[in-house]
Chains A and B, each alone.
Chain A
Amino acid sequence: MQKYDALIVGGGHNGLVTACYLQRAGLNVLVVEKNGWVGGAATSRELTPGFLYSNCSYVCSLFRPEIMRDLELPRHGLQVISYEGGAVFTRDGDYLASYRDHDSHRREFARYSKRDAEAYERYARDVTRQCRFIQPLLMRTAPDPFGFRPRDISELLYLAKKFGEFSPHEMAETLRFWTMSISDFLDEYFETDVIKAYLALSGIIGTALGPMSPGTAYVLLHHYMGEVDGSVGAWGYARGGMGAVTQALSRSFLASGGTIRTDAEVAKVLTRGGRATGVVLANGDELRAGLVVSNADVKRTFLKLVDEEALPGDFVHRVKHFKTRGSSGKVNIALDSLPEFPALGENSTCMRGDMHFTDSVERMERAYDDWKAGRWSADPFLDMMIPTLLDPTMTSPGKHFMSCFVQYCPPKVEGRDWTDADRDAFAETVIGQISDYSPGFRDRIVHMEVRTPREIEAEVGLTEGNIFQGELTFDQLLFNRPVPGYAQYRSPIHGLYMCGSSTHPGGGVMGAPGRNAAAEILRDLKRSSGEMSKAHDVV
Chain B
Amino acid sequence: MNALTTSAAGLRRAARNHIRTPRLETPFHERLAALSEVNDWYSWAGYKAPHSLFDGELEYFAIRSTAALFDISPMVKYRITGPDAERYLNRLTLRDVRKLAVGRVQYTAWCDDHGHVLDDGTLFRLGEADFRLCCQERHLPWLLDSAFGFSVDIREETEEIAGLALQGPTSYAVLRDAGFAGVEALKPFAVVSFQHEGGEVTISRTGFTGDLGYELFVPRAKALSLWDRLWSAGELHAIRAIGYGALNQARIEAGFIVANTDFVTAEGALRADRERMPDEIGLDWLVDPDKPNFNGRKAILDARRNQTLKYILVGLEIEGNIPAEHAIVYHRKKHEAGIVTAGIWSPTTKRNIAIASLERPYGSKFTEDLWVEIYAMRELQYQKLMKRAKIVPRPFVKLARRTATPPGLK
> Which of A104, A106, A170, A189 makes the CB contact (< 8 A) with B272?
A170
Using A114-B156, A118-B139 as known contacts, say yes or no to A129 and B19 having CB atoms under 8 A apart. no
Q: In angstroms, how far is the closest chain A Cβ from the Cβ of B17?
A: 8
Q: In angstroms, how far is the closest chain A Cβ from the Cβ of B113?
A: 9
B141 at interface (Cβ–Cβ under 8 A)?
yes
Q: Which residues on the B side are within 8 Å of A165 (C-beta)?
A: 272
Segment among B8-16, B240-248, B314-322, B330-338 that sits at the interface with chain A? B8-16
A148 to B300, CA, bound (A): 43
A2 at interface (Cβ–Cβ under 8 A)?
no
Q: In angstroms, how far is the closest chain B Cβ from the Cβ of A107?
A: 5
> Which of B22, B43, B140 makes the CB contact (< 8 A) with A115?
B140
- Do A108 and B19 touch (CB < 8 A)? yes
Using A118-B140, A119-B141 as known contacts, say yes or no to A166 and B268 having CB atoms under 8 A apart. no
Q: Which residues on the B side are within 8 Å of A63 (C-beta)?
A: none
B365 at interface (Cβ–Cβ under 8 A)?
no
Q: In angstroms, how far is the closest chain B Cβ from the Cβ of A262?
A: 46
- Do B272 and A121 touch (CB < 8 A)? no
A345 to B20, CA, bound (A): 12
Segment among A94-102, A218-226, A371-379, A437-445 that sits at the interface with chain B? A94-102
Secondary structure class of chain A's binding surface, majority of residues: helix
A92 at interface (Cβ–Cβ under 8 A)?
yes
A166 to B19, CA, bound (A): 38
A178 at interface (Cβ–Cβ under 8 A)?
no
Using A103-B45, A104-B22 as known contacts, say yes or no to A166 and B272 having CB atoms under 8 A apart. yes
- Do A167 and B272 touch (CB < 8 A)? yes
The size class of the interface chain A forms with chain B is: 20 to 34
A165 to B137, CA, bound (A): 27
Q: Which residues on the A side are within 8 Å of B23 (C-beta)?
A: 103
B270 at interface (Cβ–Cβ under 8 A)?
yes
A132 at interface (Cβ–Cβ under 8 A)?
yes
Within 16-37 of A, Cβ neighbours of B (below 8 Å) are at none
- Do B19 and A111 touch (CB < 8 A)? no
- Do B267 and A121 touch (CB < 8 A)? yes
| Closest residue of B by beta carbon distance from A122 | B267
A435 at interface (Cβ–Cβ under 8 A)?
no
Q: In angstroms, how far is the closest chain B Cβ from the Cβ of A147?
A: 31
- Do A112 and B12 touch (CB < 8 A)? yes
> Which of B19, B43, B141, B144 makes the CB contact (< 8 A) with A122?
B141
- Do B18 and A107 touch (CB < 8 A)? yes
A114 to B9, CA, bound (A): 14
Using A107-B46, A118-B138, A170-B272 as known contacts, say yes or no to A101 and B114 having CB atoms under 8 A apart. no
- Do B9 and A103 touch (CB < 8 A)? no
Using A106-B46, A125-B267, A132-B270 as known contacts, say yes or no to A94 and B9 having CB atoms under 8 A apart. yes
A349 at interface (Cβ–Cβ under 8 A)?
yes
Q: Which residues on the B side are within 8 Å of A114 (C-beta)?
A: 140, 156
A128 at interface (Cβ–Cβ under 8 A)?
yes
Q: Which residues on the A side are within 8 Å of B268 (C-beta)?
A: 121, 125
Using A115-B144, A166-B272, A169-B114 as known contacts, say yes or no to A94 and B267 having CB atoms under 8 A apart. no
Q: In angstroms, how far is the closest chain B Cβ from the Cβ of A115?
A: 5
12 further A-B contacts with Cβ under 8 Å, apart from A103-B46, A107-B15, are A104-B19, A106-B46, A111-B12, A111-B16, A114-B156, A117-B138, A118-B138, A118-B140, A121-B137, A128-B270, A129-B270, A170-B272
The 9 A-B residue pairs with the shortest CB-CB distance, nearest first, are: A103-B46, A118-B140, A118-B138, A119-B141, A107-B18, A104-B22, A101-B22, A111-B15, A111-B12
Query: Could you list some 6 contacts between A and B, CB below 8 A?
Result: A97-B16, A97-B19, A106-B138, A118-B138, A121-B137, A166-B272
